[in-house]
Amino acid sequence: MDSSLSPLSYQPYLDQLIAFASEEPRKPDLVTAKTEYFRLTGEVFEDDKLFELRMASFLDYYLCDRVSPVSGQTPAAELYNLRLRSSLPEEANAYRCFTETVHGLFEVRKFGKGLVRLRELFSGKDFDVTERRNIAGLESGDVIEARLIPFAGHLLFSSAFCYHPRVAVKSIKTEVKRRKKKEPDRPSAEFVWECARRALKVERYRQIAVEKIYDFAQKMP
């Protein structure tokens, strides 16, 4: 990565990636991907409190995770490979960050000066994320779904988050431990998506206890 790049300057590259991935010939596949994603994470509507965050999460998924049935690559990988052939190495490398994002469930470990230390629940790996803002309501011990973008020597948060209730943290960590032991070959992304569905249910059904919604012994409807 070009050391002259500011850790805050990835947005123009992301905007170009979004434009590339939204070109007219891709529109039908974009619609298909959206249907797939919300089948996995729960359908949201414009009047839902989580609507904007879920749309941001979908966009991250579409750009960085979902392999196109046509190209066999994610849009991020497609654009990076195009830029490798047509741009200066420094510019091409700026797009590589979107092919190397880290997405998962993270426990907030501690806050430092301009940093948040996270631990990914399945791997147990720690990540120091550059974050100069105070993220409202976020405390040590919380569990969040997030995507980390490596850019200019820093790890940065994408704009998409899913916050899980503090009373659900114990249940989430217990289920992660169970799956690692009993179902080690099961993709961790499945659990990330399941937790997202349960978080949406918490918002929709305030009359149901959070502990009951995050009871992983019970299947989601």
pLDDT category of residue 169 using cuts at 50, 70 and 90: very high
Q: Would the pTM of this model clear 0.85, i.e. be above it?
A: yes
**Edge to edge, what strands does the sheet with 154-164 contain?**
126-130, 115-120, 102-112, 143-151, 154-164
Q: Which of 67, 99, 131 is where one domain is finished?
A: 99
pLDDT category of residue 7 using cuts at 50, 70 and 90: low
* 209 and 111 inside one domain: yes
Cα 93 to Cα 84, 86, 184: the distances in Å are 8, 12, 34
* 25 and 113 inside one domain: no
* 127 and 177 inside one domain: yes
Asked whether residue 217 carries a pLDDT value surpassing 80, the answer given is: yes
Q: Which of 99, 129, 152 is where one domain is finished?
A: 99
Residue 147 sits at φ, ψ, to 5 deg, of: -125, 130
* 166 and 199 inside one domain: yes
Q: What is the DSSP letter of 208?
A: S
Query: What is the domain count for the chain?
Result: 2
Q: What is the DSSP letter of 133?
A: S
Per-residue three-class SS string for 39-103: HHHCCCCCCCCCHHHHHHHHHHHHHHCCCCCCCCCCHHHHHHHHHHHHCCHHHHHHHHHHHCCEE
Q: Please give the pLDDT value at position 34.
A: 96
Q: What is the mean pLDDT of the chain?
A: 92
**Among 119, 123, 113, 106, CA closest to 163:** 106
Contacts 24+ apart (CB under 8 A), 183-188: 188/104, 188/105, 188/122
Q: Would residue 174 count as lying in a domain?
A: yes
* 58 and 145 inside one domain: no
Residue range of the domain that includes 39: 11-99
Residues 58/66, Cβ–Cβ less than 8 Å: no
Asked whether residue 1 carries a pLDDT value surpassing 70, the answer given is: no
In this structure, how many other beta carbons lie within 10 angstroms of the beta carbon of residue 88? 10
- The residue-averaged pLDDT of 148-166 equals 94
- The residue-averaged pLDDT of 187-195 equals 97
Q: Please give the pLDDT value at position 138.
A: 87
Q: Which of 78, 99, 120 is where one domain is finished?
A: 99
Percent of residues, the chain, with pLDDT higher than 90: 81
Residues 54/48, Cβ–Cβ less than 8 Å: yes
pLDDT category of residue 210 using cuts at 50, 70 and 90: very high
* 107 and 165 inside one domain: yes
